[in-house]
């Protein structure tokens, strides 16, 4: 954290006390060194080593059940790839299966990705996964047995210390002191232990950011959000092609602009390529939702590709308008962003008669052959206000300017922008789920900021920085039209784990649009 963030965290921690538990005195001292100063009284609590002392600390009231609680210290590595000094942030803490019902139940910790983000910014090597607590030092076969249960690290206290109030914010972070082939805290690992303790100081700083974010009490979901009809159609088209033809199915460019969607389809057998030349002759090939230029269609035909066209029908409409305007002799001004696949495809309809206009400045200078024969079209994923400003300039310069018969901006883009604007005026922070190359997701961030919120584009829950949430009691969440709904669910779960008790949905309209699949993808 910078100095301003540190001051803010200190004041917030004073107002909302929290506790970090460490078993050993040296662990507690290391954590305290990393916490912002001055410390809230009682922030660091030494519990003692082992399950019995952990039970006693929880039972004797030393740990307030309604106060945010983090457990931190060293641990033994179970996964072969973990090295001394690596950090494990637990997404769940479980008890050694050998103990059975004598141990606490599994504790799920959905805020783990946020803590991991904060720790990575401290320069640490961080892994997210299960931590298992046992009642004796684990060595040899014991380590292998626990690793087989799926855990990354083993300790002697976490499960018992976290067994309290189910709704209070909880966290568990362990630094590997010895690798999977060692024994927990054997004398030969003294050097590794010292290294782990140095890492714990940085862990303390990251946990302070998590604690400062546990002020969240309400989550407001903007609706509509996430997948639109065009995206659902495009994804279903690739899935249907895989089902009917089997892998590989080739997809030109990303089917939609979302890294998670692409990764999921790649796992099923889709192969994403940038150029038609990369596709084997005669292979099944899907065109993305963003559309392609006629030249690309000609290349595909020349290679004998079996094309399945997943172009969004709203983009297809813009292409048809481009052909109509060009056919009547107009210069067509396309309002859109340089390098976006949709604009490249649309411009390809008549590159000699179409000009890209990215902003108001370009609109002031764009040349045309005949000012009496000018029309404009719009990239479907833009924000309405930025388009209005460009059109205003063009109409002033070209009074005869013609436009599309109906708005080119996608209904889903407009709906999501209106929904996030309504939420952003009522919350201090808005999280927008979407990948970095998603134009409509970037516009949602811009709209939210224009409405007065601090807004951030995040690819998934692991991209959320807890420092953004410090002191916020309400957080808004939305998702771009290409972001899967499950990403929203994961973020909401993390915010609940920070203390949010109420999740409400603010709906501005109901979407009932449905697009049929391309004829090549329909069942025969």
Run of H or E residues at 199:
helix 190-212
Q: How far is Cα 167 from Cα 218, in angstroms, rounded to an integer?
A: 14
Run of H or E residues at 70:
strand 69-77
Q: Give 408's contacts (C-beta < 8 A, 6+ positions apart).
A: 314, 317, 318, 321, 377, 378, 379, 380
DSSP string, 458-504: ESSGGG--HHHHTT-SEEEEEE-TTS-HHHHHHHHHHHHHTT--EEE
Residue 478 known to bind ligand: no
Q: How far is Cα 230 from Cα 513, in angstroms, rounded to an integer?
A: 9
Residue 228 known to bind ligand: yes
Q: How far is Cα 388 from Cα 438, in angstroms, rounded to an integer?
A: 21
Residue 441 known to bind ligand: no
Instruction: Answer whether 135's CB lies under 8 Å from 96's CB.
Output: yes
From the list 321, 342, 344, 349, the catalytic residue is 342
Strand order in the sheet with 306-309: 270-273, 249-252, 284-287, 306-309
Beta strands in 322-371 (DSSP E): 331-335, 354-357
Is 473 catalytic? The answer is: no
* DSSP 8-state secondary structure symbol assigned to residue 402: B
Q: How far is Cα 397 from Cα 182, in angstroms, rounded to an integer?
A: 76
Supply 100's token pair.
Answer: 């059975």
User: 171: closest CA among 117, 124, 220?
Assistant: 117
DSSP string, 152-182: SEEESSHHHHT-S-SSS-EEEEEEEEE-TTS
Instruction: Answer whether 524's CB lies under 8 Å from 243's CB.
Output: no
Residue 260 known to bind ligand: no
Supply 191's token pair.
Answer: 């050097």
User: 224: closest CA among 519, 432, 511, 520?
Assistant: 511
Residue 514 known to bind ligand: no
Residue 245 known to bind ligand: no
Residue 21 known to bind ligand: no
User: 91: closest CA among 109, 105, 77?
Assistant: 109
SS3 (DSSP) at 131: strand
Beta strands in 186-330 (DSSP E): 218-223, 249-252, 270-273, 284-287, 306-309
CA atoms within 13 A on the CB side of 164: 26
Q: Which residue ranges are tagged as binding site for isopentenyl diphosphate?
A: 257, 290, 340, 438-440, 482
Q: Which residue ranges are tagged as binding site for [4Fe-4S] cluster?
A: 228, 312, 410
Q: Which residue ranges are tagged as binding site?
A: 228, 257, 290, 312, 340, 380, 410, 438-440, 482
- Active-site positions read 342
Q: Which residue ranges are tagged as binding site for dimethylallyl diphosphate?
A: 257, 290, 340, 438-440, 482
């Amino acid at each position: 954290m910078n100095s301003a963030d540190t001051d803010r965290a200190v004041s917030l921690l004073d107002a909302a006390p929290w506790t970090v538990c460490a078993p050993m005195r040296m662990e507690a001292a290391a954590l305290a060194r990393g916490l912002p100063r001055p410390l809230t009284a009682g922030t660091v609590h030494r519990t003692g080593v082992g399950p019995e002392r952990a039970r006693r600390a929880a039972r004797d009231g030393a740990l307030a059940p309604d106060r945010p609680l983090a457990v931190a210290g060293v641990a033994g590595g179970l996964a072969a790839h973990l090295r001394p000094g690596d950090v494990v942030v637990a997404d769940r803490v479980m008890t050694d299966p050998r103990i059975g019902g004598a141990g606490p139940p599994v504790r799920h910790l959905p805020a783990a990705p946020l803590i991991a983000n904060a720790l990575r910014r401290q320069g640490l090597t961080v892994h997210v996964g299960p931590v298992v607590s046992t009642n004796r030092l684990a060595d040899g076969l014991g380590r292998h047995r626990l690793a087989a249960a799926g855990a990354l690290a083993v300790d002697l206290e976490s499960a018992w210390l976290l067994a309290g109030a189910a709704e209070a914010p909880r966290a568990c972070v362990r630094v590997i002191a010895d690798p999977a082939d060692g024994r927990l805290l054997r004398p030969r690992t003294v050097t590794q232990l010292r290294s782990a303790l140095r890492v714990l100081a940085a862990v303390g700083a990251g946990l302070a950011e998590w604690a400062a974010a546990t002020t969240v009490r309400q989550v407001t979901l903007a609706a509509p959000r996430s997948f639109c009809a065009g995206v659902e159609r495009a994804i279903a088209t690739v899935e249907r092609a895989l089902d009917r033809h089997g892998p590989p199915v080739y997809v030109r460019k990303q089917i939609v602009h979302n890294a998670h969607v692409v990764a999921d389809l790649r796992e099923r057998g889709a192969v994403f390529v940038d150029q038609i030349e990369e596709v084997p002759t005669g292979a099944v090939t899907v065109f993305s939702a963003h559309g392609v230029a006629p030249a690309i269609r000609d290349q595909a035909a020349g290679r004998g590709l079996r094309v399945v066209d997943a172009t969004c029908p709203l983009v297809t409409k813009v292409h048809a308008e481009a052909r109509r305007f060009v056919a009547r002799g107009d210069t067509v001004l396309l309002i859109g962003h340089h390098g976006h696949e949709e604009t490249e495809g649309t411009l390809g309809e008549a590159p000699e008669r179409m000009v890209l206009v990215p902003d108001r400045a370009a609109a002031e200078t764009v040349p045309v052959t005949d000012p009496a024969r000018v029309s404009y079209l719009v990239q479907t994923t833009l924000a309405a206000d930025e388009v209005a400003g460009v059109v205003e300039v063009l109409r002033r310069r070209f009074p005869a300017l013609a436009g599309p018969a109906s708005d080119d901006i996608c209904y889903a883009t407009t709906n999501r922008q209106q929904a996030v604007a309504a939420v952003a005026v009522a919350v201090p922070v808005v999280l927008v789920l979407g990948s970095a190359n998603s134009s409509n997701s970037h516009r949602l961030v811009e709209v939210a900021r224009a409405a007065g919120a601090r807004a951030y584009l995040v690819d998934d829950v692991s991209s959320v920085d807890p420092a953004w949430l410090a002191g916020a009691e309400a957080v808004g969440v939305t998702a771009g039209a290409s972001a899967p709904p499950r990403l929203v669910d994961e973020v909401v779960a993390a915010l609940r784990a920070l203390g949010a008790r109420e999740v409400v949905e603010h709906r501005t309209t109901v979407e009932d649009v449905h697009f049929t699949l391309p004829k090549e993808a329909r069942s025969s």
